[in-house]
Amino acid sequence: MRRAALALCCLLTAVPALAEDLPQGPKAPPPEPLPDAICDIAKPDSGDWLLGRWVAPYSKWEFKREAQGLTWTLEQKPDINRDLGYKQGTVIDGKVSELSACTFRLTAVENGETAFNFEGVLTDGGKIYGYATNKAGQGARWILRRQR
């Protein structure tokens, strides 16, 4: 096994162009733009499909039904989302501002300003592809899956 790994490393260092084509992260990012919705987005929905815990690399998301409607919490693990300016251990809370049977928009408000926006779409495979932006306009792409 070690010899195979060593041979692969030697091959990749010998041919740098091939090494550049390899995936750079733990998971491929969602496609741009987001996939088309698989549901009728004009129909209202209770959001039961969204409730519960979802995970993405280095983050946990939880969606709950509360008196004021659907709410969410995002907890960052390591500093993976430097693009948004958030550090390890950051917790963001907000509300689900728009919802259909397969799409949603999340917002978090801080000091009267929208501090975080997230737009997501549920795919046939049961994953959520989405984009987030902070108040400075910086963005990041996400793939969420149900926590096991």
Note the pLDDT of residue 13.
Answer: 43
Note the pLDDT of residue 139.
Answer: 85
Note the pLDDT of residue 62.
Answer: 97
- Residue 12: pLDDT band (50, 70, 90) is very low
Query: Model's pTM, two decimal places?
Result: 0.73
Note the pLDDT of residue 127.
Answer: 94
CATH number of 39's domain = 2.40.128
- The one-letter code for the residue type at 113 is E
Note the pLDDT of residue 131.
Answer: 92
Percent of the chain surpassing pLDDT 90:
46
Mean pLDDT of 31-41: 87
Note the pLDDT of residue 33.
Answer: 83
User: Containing domain of residue 93, as a range?
Assistant: 27-146
In a domain, 17, yes or no: no
In a domain, 98, yes or no: yes
Note the pLDDT of residue 143.
Answer: 92
- Tokens matching residue 45: 């929905």
Q: How many CB atoms lie within 10 A of CB 69?
A: 12
* pLDDT tens sequence across 86-129: 555 678 899 999 999 999 999 999 888 898 999 999 999 999 99
In a domain, 94, yes or no: yes
Mean pLDDT of 60-73: 94
Q: Do 103 and 81 form a contact (C-beta atoms < 8 A)?
A: no
- Of 141 and 3, the structure prediction assigns the larger pLDDT to 141
For the chain, give me the number of helices (H) and strands (E)?
A: 2, 8
Note the pLDDT of residue 44.
Answer: 85
In a domain, 14, yes or no: no
- Residue 145 three-state SS: strand
- Tokens matching residue 96: 């689900």
- Tokens matching residue 49: 């499909």
In a domain, 74, yes or no: yes
